[in-house]
Amino acid sequence: MAYSKQHPEPGDLIEIKRLVYQHWALYLGDGYVVHLTSADEGIRCLSGSSDPIMRKKAKVKKQLLKEVVGNNAWEVNNKYDRSYTPLPVKEIIKRAESYIGMEMTYNVLWENCEHFVTMLRYGKSVSDQVRGIQEMMDFNREVFTYVLVGGTVLVLTTFGVSPVAAILATNISATAGTGFLKLFLSSSSRQSWNEKKSN
């Protein structure tokens, strides 16, 4: 279905094209959107951060679309409708309005503005713009594991440890290490936005 960017419908996803990233909002109707942003407007959907796990506090705001867009190009972009079934419009709007004013965690990889609005529309958080970053992190973690295993086996065999024992010990250590790293980055204590809302 073709959409005119000037005439969004309630429940539509709005993609706002900033200079180096896309900001996302959900259209409520009557010219208003709901979106995830910082109180000082300093949050960026793909910004760098001095925080090693890229976490910030964010706030859900209801604002006029024209204020959020400013001079940037924008369009209705319900691209995930091909893969996920949107919730009924009344439910999308009710969910969106229930979050207005709420302070939330912002994490560029797992809880960004696109994740937020897709969670409202589909009941599932999705973000294409960070998928490439996550794939790169997974690849780097695998390379790191292979280098760690190979280097450790070489060192252990140099000191007379059996190659089989060295490989076994190193694999166990590498698996534990990369598992801990993944756990640290994803923070197992982190609740999903849906869980936070139900508490």
Q: Quick one: tokens of 151? A: 């280097």
pLDDT band at 189 (very low <50, low <70, confident <90, very high): very low
45 is catalytic: no
The active-site residue, picked from 23, 35, 45, 115, is 23
Q: What is the pLDDT of residue 90?
A: 97
Q: What is the pLDDT of residue 142?
A: 58
pLDDT of 20 > 50? The answer is yes
23 is catalytic: yes
Q: What is the pLDDT of residue 149?
A: 61
Q: What is the pLDDT of residue 49?
A: 36
> Which residues are 37's β-sheet partners?
59
> CA distances (Å), 179 to each of 150, 171, 186, in order?
18, 12, 11
Q: Work out the number of other CB atoms within 10 angstroms of the CB of residue 59.
A: 18
pLDDT band at 72 (very low <50, low <70, confident <90, very high): very high
Task: Spell out the CATH class of 13-126.
Answer: alpha beta
**Residue pair 12/117 in contact by the 8 Å Cβ criterion:** no
Treating both helix axes as pointing N-terminal to C-terminal, what angle do 89-99 and 113-122 enclose, rounded to 10 degrees? Answer: 140
Amino acid type, 30: D
pLDDT of 4 > 50? The answer is no
CA angle 84, 88, 94 (to 5 degrees): 115
pLDDT band at 144 (very low <50, low <70, confident <90, very high): low
Strand runs (DSSP E) across the chain, as ranges?
13-17, 22-29, 32-37, 55-64, 73-76, 103-107
Mean pLDDT taken over the chain: 74
The pLDDT > 70 percentage for the chain reads: 53
> CA distances (Å), 73 to each of 20, 64, 68, 113, in order?
13, 15, 11, 17
- pLDDT tens profile 34-69: 999 875 554 444 443 334 445 578 899 999 999 999
Q: What is the pLDDT of residue 55?
A: 58
Give the mean model confidence (pLDDT) for residues 103-115. 83
| Helix (H), strand (E) at residue 128 | helix 128-158
Q: Where are the domains of the chain?
A: 13-126, 131-186
For every residue of 166-183, DSSP letters joined together read HHHHHHHHHHHHHHHHHH
Q: Quick one: tokens of 141? A: 């973690």
